[in-house]
């Protein structure tokens, strides 16, 4: 049996229930993993509220780290006793242990703690695909990154610095802006204290940025397009302020033949080999010290509702983990 956080209806954090569930044995292509730490992400909020609907009741949580307890037939990249971490569908990480597909479970190097492993997989592999797979970037390129002091943002700031990429961040307070700059953002703009689009234009000599990485959604979408240089790429990868309303695709032509995409991590990691390669790239960054995993908040599994309240109210910085 394993204590597990589930929801039986979409809604607020009060929907969480803690139940004991039978874990069982792994089948073909599966593993059983005993969690040591669990990561929280904004996609968890989307799923809980029903923005991303799920068939209910359902366990929650998309990433965790722990120790492999049992291995099913056909699994060759993991063995009993291995340290491992993952970001994966379907949800179910808010638990003491689970049986799951092994394809997206990745070996966790000894030099990375369980808390770091739990906090880095979904956010870190997101940064990996944003910088290297969606619109591959090179030294000298310029990126606008919204919510630069969040869990994904602080990793992106460090990633950009390690590769010679100029990152202009945005955040909601001067303190968060300073945090982003401390982690490698070249500039960070407080979007509450001025016209951030004009400031982006000023910082780029009027040209605009090569790529915008926007997980805020509705509130920043129009300004993001206006921050791009001609032929620039808009990467919309989240909806923290709400989904982007329908828009006239012709506006992309009028604003400079812009490109736009709406990728997800789970498309990229759906292929086992790609997932393992992305995890290895991320782990190498962490082991070299290029990227440090900033864990700003820790909650007990039993306090998962409080963790969601803090996350949804944007009262968190860096990564948030549940301790098992």
Which pLDDT belongs to residue 317? 79
Phi, psi dihedral angles at 127 (to 5 degrees):
-60, -40
Number of helical (H) and strand (E) elements in the chain, helices listed first: 10, 16
User: Judging by beta carbons within 10 Å of its beta carbon (0-12, 13-18, 19+), is residue 272 exposed, middle or buried?
Assistant: middle
| Enclosing H/E stretch for 156 | helix 151-162
The ranges of the chain annotated as CATH 3.40.50.720 are 123-264
Which pLDDT belongs to residue 78? 98
β-partners of residue 98 are 33
β-partners of residue 33 are 68, 98
Instruction: Give the whole-angstrom CA distance, residue 189 versus residue 74.
Output: 50
C-alpha 26: how far from its chain's center?
Answer: 27
Calculate ∠ Cα 54-318-309, nearest 5°: 50
Relative to beta strand 2-7, strand 30-39 is unpaired
The answer to whether the CB of 285 falls within 8 A of the CB of 291 is yes
Which pLDDT belongs to residue 42? 86
Listed residue (266, 230, 258) closest to 62, CA to CA: 266
Class (C level, CATH) for 123-264? alpha beta
Low-confidence ranges of the chain (pLDDT < 70): none
Which pLDDT belongs to residue 274? 97
Task: Write down the CATH number for the domain with range 2-121+266-323.
Answer: 3.90.180.10
The ranges of the chain annotated as CATH 3.90.180.10 are 2-121+266-323
């Amino acid at each position: 049996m394993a204590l597990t956080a589930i929801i039986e209806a979409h809604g607020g954090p009060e929907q969480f229930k803690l139940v004991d569930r039978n874990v069982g044995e792994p089948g073909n292509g599966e593993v059983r993993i005993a969690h040591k730490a669990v990561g929280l992400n904004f996609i968890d909020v989307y799923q809980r509220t029903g923005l991303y609907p799920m068939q209910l009741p359902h366990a929650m949580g998309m990433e965790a780290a722990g120790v492999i307890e049992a291995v099913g037939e056909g699994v060759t990249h993991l063995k009993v006793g291995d340290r491992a971490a993952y970001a994966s569908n379907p949800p179910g990480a808010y638990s003491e242990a689970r049986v799951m597909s092994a394809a997206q479970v990745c070996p966790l190097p000894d030099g990375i703690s369980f808390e770091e492993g739990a906090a880095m997989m979904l956010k870190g592999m997101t940064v990996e695909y944003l910088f290297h797979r969606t619109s591959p970037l090179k030294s000298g390129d310029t990126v606008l990154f919204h919510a630069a002091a969040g869990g994904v943002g602080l990793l992106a700031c460090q990633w950009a610095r390690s590769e010679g990429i100029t990152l202009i961040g945005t955040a909601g307070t001067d303190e968060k802006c300073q945090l982003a700059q401390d982690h490698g953002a070249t500039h960070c703009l407080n979007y509450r204290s001025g016209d951030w689009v004009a400031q982006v234009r000023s910082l780029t000599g009027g040209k605009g940025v090569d790529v915008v990485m926007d997980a805020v959604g509705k509130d920043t979408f129009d300004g993001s397009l206006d921050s791009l240089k001609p032929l620039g790429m808009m990467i919309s990868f989240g909806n923290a302020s709400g989904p982007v309303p329908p828009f006239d695709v012709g506006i992309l032509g009028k604003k400079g033949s812009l490109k736009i995409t709406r990728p997800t991590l789970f498309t990229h990691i759906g292929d086992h080999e790609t997932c393992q390669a992305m995890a290895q790239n991320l782990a190498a960054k962490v082991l070299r010290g290029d990227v440090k995993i900033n864990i700003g908040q820790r909650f007990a599994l039993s306090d998962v509702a409080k963790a969601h309240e803090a996350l949804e109210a944007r009262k968190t910085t860096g990564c948030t983990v549940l301790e098992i």
